[in-house]
Amino acid sequence: MSARSLRAWSWLHTWSSLVCTVFMLLLCLTGLPLIFHHEIEHLAGDEVELPVLAAPQAARPLDEAMAAARALYPQRIVQYAAPDEEEPSIWHFTLTPTPAPTDDYKSVAVDLRTAQVLRDAKTGEGFMYWMQRLHIDLFAGLPGMLFLGFMGLLMVVAIVSGVVLYAPFMRRLDFGSVRRDRSPRLKWLDLHNLLGIVTLVWATVVGFTGVINTWADPLVKYWQYSQLSALLAPYAGQPLVPEAERAPVQQALGAALAHTPGQKVSFLAFPGTAYSSPHHVTVFLQGDTPLTSKLLKPVLVDARSASVTAAPALPWYLTALLVSKPLHFGDYAGMPMKILWALLDVATIVVLGSGLYLWLKRRATRTREAAVGETEDGVPALT
């Protein structure tokens, strides 16, 4: 590689890293507890437990459970309903003032066997809420999500440029060398480069899946505009189906399951919400394997007649979005993968922090380096 190309790659690596470092540190720090959010919620006593009944009881119609949730907040409507990931006899209902997307929501858990409310969850507060909002959108909604997505792209650029620079730098050294007998700056430079290579694949995967996740809202809206609009042509000009005219939810759910056998329910989106249409209850079904459980199949059920009108295949970009979300947090292979994700997260924090230290150190010694014509250690810095 020519000296000119080396300088160009070094400039790209330095400035792409510097621009995104603070935000990537924030994402790594907030992402660490989110990897273990199930375990933290369990320790905090926030998980919903299914009570033991004196005698076994069959599940009641979903409409009764939904009515129990609505009774707590009669001025709100149900946007979404979903069975608990670990206990299908518990259903969670999201209630909001209107069908439109909003941060003003209530989450109510109901025992499907008895139609009794188990928990009225506190929303918009607590440690995990703050971690999640900082990690997802910096409390700035869609603009915050897109901004973090751009920072993620810069991180990917920094990784690629770092790989390009790593080969010429390591020509003088054995792979993995850390020169502990030299200056602190040189030791940190070697450690920065070593950990950068060790975390290369993980950081690229997590960074890129994080970027995809920030595009969730625009991708869903594009899907609705490009594909669902054709399926909704027969309903053109019709208003949102009022609740009084809707068929029982249990009937709509049964129609969706009968139309696509061998699947289980992921969640239901009610008319007018972001994941449905004004005229349908959209039932999202999933498989029962670690991979297929992340791939959803939407089934559009007419809200009035409870008849299935369409079951479109999700486009590739929404499939990529669904796969990227659990992969981003290591939510595929249980606790071993979560521990691995956490260790790599910590290593990435060291890479980011050491890169910032090296840049500050370099600026502090720039005058002296210019006088001797090289870095203080006789090696060109990579950050």
Could you list the pLDDT tens digit for every one of the 383 residues in the chain? 677 888 888 889 889 988 999 999 999 999 999 999 888 877 877 778 888 888 888 899 999 999 999 999 999 999 999 999 889 999 999 999 999 888 899 999 999 999 999 998 888 788 888 999 999 999 998 999 999 999 999 999 998 888 888 777 666 666 666 666 677 777 888 778 778 888 888 999 999 999 999 998 899 889 888 888 888 888 988 999 999 999 999 999 999 999 999 899 999 999 999 899 999 999 999 987 766 777 899 999 999 999 999 999 888 999 888 888 888 887 776 788 889 999 999 999 999 988 888 888 877 776 565 555 554 444 444 44
Q: By three-state DSSP, how is residue 376 classified?
A: coil
Count, in order, helices (H) and strands (E) of the chain.
13, 8
pLDDT at 71: 96
Task: Give the residue from 130, 105, 107, 133 showing the smallest Cα distance to 120.
Answer: 107
pLDDT at 46: 72
* 333 phi, psi to nearest 5 deg: -125, 35
**DSSP characters for 131-178?**
HHHHHHTTTSHHHHHHHHHHHHHHHHHHHHHHHHHHHHHGGGS-TT--
Q: Which residues lie closer than 8 Å to 56 by C-beta, 6 or more apart?
A: none
Entry pTM: 0.82
pLDDT at 344: 92
pLDDT at 362: 79
Sign of the Cα pseudo-torsion (66, 69, 75, 79, in order) = negative
CB 271 within 8 A of CB 281: yes
40: tokens are: 């933290």
Q: Which residues lie closer than 8 Å to 140 by C-beta, 6 or more apart?
A: 147
